[in-house]
């Protein structure tokens, strides 16, 4: 018996959930790994995702004017589903609704991957907080304490 896509996503989404799918915003039409960085994604209206790239030097070059701590390198030893060392640019946060993830899964354009380690997810959130590109609204939703 097949589990409906809505049940699959809603019963498994958590901080560190990883989805593999193509994104029309990216220049490459290939699928990428997207990591959920919300603290409580099932309760949130919008899911925030960061995207990995195997093109480490290219990402570093494109982000040379951003704080270096906004780029998180993850080796293939640190995350079991990576086939090569990768980097995550936390200056770009992608927004998605659960319904969008469900739709991609039902169309078979999204694959569920192994959950990412909580310590890595924490680093990704911290890198997002350090970004000058990410809005305060997103940072607050990701748990950053903003003093007035």
Domain coordinates in residue numbering, the chain: 5-141
Q: What is the mean pLDDT of residues 91-111?
A: 95
Using the predicted structure, report yes or no on whether residue 12 has a pLDDT greater than 60: yes
Return mean pLDDT, the chain. Answer: 93
Mean pLDDT for 90-114 is 96
Average pLDDT over residues 91-106: 95
Query: Which phi and psi angles does 136 have, rounded to 5°?
Result: -60, -35
Contact 48/104 with Cβ under 8 angstroms? no
Handedness of CA 121, 122, 125, 131 (dihedral sign): negative
Residue 89 has pLDDT above 90, yes or no: yes
Asked if pLDDT for residue 145 goes beyond 60, the answer is yes
Q: Which residue has the higher pLDDT, 25 or 37?
A: 37
C-beta of residue 28 within 8 angstroms of C-beta of residue 59: no
Cα angle 129, 132, 135; round to 5? 70
Q: Provide the whole-model pTM.
A: 0.93
Q: How far apart are CA 1 and CA 3, in angstroms?
A: 7
Q: What percent of the chain has pLDDT over 70?
A: 96
Q: Which fold has domain 5-141?
A: SH3 type barrels. (2.30.30)
């Amino acid at each position: 018996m097949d589990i409906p896509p809505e049940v699959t996503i809603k019963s498994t989404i958590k901080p560190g959930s990883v989805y593999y799918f193509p994104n029309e915003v990216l220049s490459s039409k290939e699928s990428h790994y997207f990591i959920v960085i919300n603290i409580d994604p099932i309760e949130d209206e919008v899911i925030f995702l960061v995207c990995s790239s195997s093109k480490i030097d290219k990402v570093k070059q494109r982000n040379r004017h951003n704080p270096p701590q906004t780029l998180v390198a993850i080796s293939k030893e640190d995350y079991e589903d990576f086939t090569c060392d990768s980097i995550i640019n936390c200056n770009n946060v992608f927004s998605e609704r659960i319904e969008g993830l469900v739709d991609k899964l039902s169309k078979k354009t999204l694959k569920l991957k192994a959950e990412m380690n909580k310590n890595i997810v924490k680093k990704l959130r911290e890198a997002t907080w350090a970004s000058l590109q990410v809005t305060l609204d997103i940072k607050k939703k990701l748990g950053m304490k903003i003093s007035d």
